[in-house]
Amino acid sequence: MNKKAIAILGAIFLLIVGTLGFLIYSKYSSSKTPATNGINNTATTTPSDNTQGTGNDVATTTTQVPVSNIVKLSEDQVVSPALFYSGKGITYFDKQGGLYQSTLQDDSGQTILTQKKQIDIPVKSGITKILWPAKGDDFIAEMQDSAGNKTWSYFNSKTQVYSDYPAQVESVDWMPTGDKIMYVWLENGKATLNISDPDTKNWNQLADMWELDDKISVSPNGNQVLYYETSSTSSNIAINSVSSDGKVWKTLVKTGMNMGVLWSPDGQKFLFAKKDADSQKYQIWVYNLVSDEVKNLGLFTTTDKAVWDKDSNVIYLSVPTTGTAGSAALTEDTFYRMDTTTMEKKQYPSSSDSPIDGRDLFLNGIGDKLFFRNAQDGSLYYLDLTK
C-alpha cells in the first residue's frame, strides 16, 4: 500500500473518532443544562387605580402554593371579611381597626388576592365584628368592653365619622334598606324594641320586650324579627318572632336550649342551633316558616359556622371534628354541603396543612368558592367547592 492511501485512511479514521467524541460530549453537556420551562413560584402584583374605594395602595406579593381544595389567601388577621357587591373583591378589617379591600383574581385555576388597598377612614380600635348592611357603604362596628359587654359604633361613609351607640343599646341589626336599624333598648329594668336612623336618632318605639337580654335578627325582607335570650341559664330558651311593626308575636321554637339564628336569603327559612341532651353539643336545625316544619340536620355545629347558598335550600357548614362549636375554645373542622330539603349531605376532604376553625363563611358570586376566616390563625382562606 502506498503512502497516499495510508494518509487517506488515517484521515478517515481521525474524522470518525472526532465525530463520535463530539456526539458523546454533546449528550453529556445537555444532561447538565438546567431546564428553562420550570414553574415560577412567586408572582408580584402592583395595585392599579381601579380598586374600589379610596385610600392607600399597599404593594402585595402573592406566593403560589400547590393547588389544593383549601387555600390560604392572606397573612393578615382579618375581621368580618365580606364580598364586594360586584363579587369581584373582598373587604375586611384588621385587628388594629384599619379597613382594607382586595381584588379577587384567577391565576391558573387558583384564586388569589391582588391590589390590596387600605381605605382612608379613621381607625377604630377594639373592633371584634362588623355588621354589614344589605345595601349601602355604612356599617356598624361591634366592640367589647372590659366587662365583656358588647358595644356598637355606627360609621357614616359620607361624613367619615363614627358615632358610638348609648350603653342602653342591648342588640342591634340592620333593616334591609340600609338606612334604618332595629334595636333593643334596655333602661331601668325595662326592654323595648325600637326602629331608628342608623345613628339611633329619629327613633320610634315599637313594643315592649319580655326579657332583658334578647338578641334580634331582622329578616331579609324586613317584615319579621327573630329574637332569643342570650344570658339565660335556663334549659329552655325559645326562639320567637315579632312583625316589624311590633304587633304580631309568635313563639316558633318552644322547647330546648336554642342559640343563634341565620336567615335564608328568601326569608322563608332560618337555621338555629339546639343543644343535644346526650352530648351537650349544639346541632344545626332548620325551621320552615311556610310549612312550620322543623328538622334536625344532624350536624354538630352552630350558626356562626354556616352559610346559605343563594337558592335558600343548600347550606355549607364548618363542623368540628375536635372541640365543640359554641364554646370559647378553638375547634378543628371539616366542611359539609347539605341540602335542607332532600337532606343530601356531602363532606369535603381537607388538604390544608394547618388546622381549620371556620368562621364568617360566605360564598363568591357563582357559588364555587367558600370563603372563611380561620380562627386558628385569623387569616382568610377559601375552599374550592369543585374539588
- Above 80 in pLDDT, residue 42? no
CA dist 156 and 152 (Å) reads 13
Q: Is this model's pTM higher than 0.95 or not?
A: no
The DSSP 8-state label assigned to residue 137 in this structure reads S
Q: Which of 43-47, 91-95, 130-134 has the lowest mean pLDDT?
A: 43-47
Burial 314-331 (b: 16+ CB within 10 A, else e): bbbbbbbeeebbbeeeeb
CA dist 44 and 49 (Å) reads 17
CA dist 216 and 220 (Å) reads 13
The per-residue pLDDT for 66 is 39
Q: Which of 260, 251, 274 lies closest to 215, judged by CA?
A: 260
- Above 90 in pLDDT, residue 301? yes
The per-residue pLDDT for 387 is 82
Q: What share of the chain in percent tops pLDDT 90? A: 72
| Amino acid sitting at position 109 | G
Place of cell 345595601: 135
191 confidence band (pLDDT: 50, 70, 90):
very high
CA distance to 89, 133, 217, per residue, from 86 (Å): 8, 15, 25
What secondary structure does DSSP assign to 37-55, as a single string? S----EEEE---TTSSSSE
Mean pLDDT of 264-269: 98
CA dist 327 and 347 (Å) reads 23
Q: What share of the chain in percent tops pLDDT 70? A: 82
Higher pLDDT, 218 or 29: 218
What secondary structure does DSSP assign to 292-337, as a single string? --EEE------GGGEEE-TTSSEEEEEEEEES-TTSSS--EEEEEE
pLDDT tens digits, one per residue of 50-106: 333 444 444 333 333 334 589 999 998 999 999 997 788 999 999 999 999 999 998
The per-residue pLDDT for 9 is 47
H or E stretch including 176?
Answer: none
CB distance 80 to 97 below 8 Å: no
CB distance 300 to 317 below 8 Å: no
Mean pLDDT of 323-345: 95
| Amino acid sitting at position 230 | T
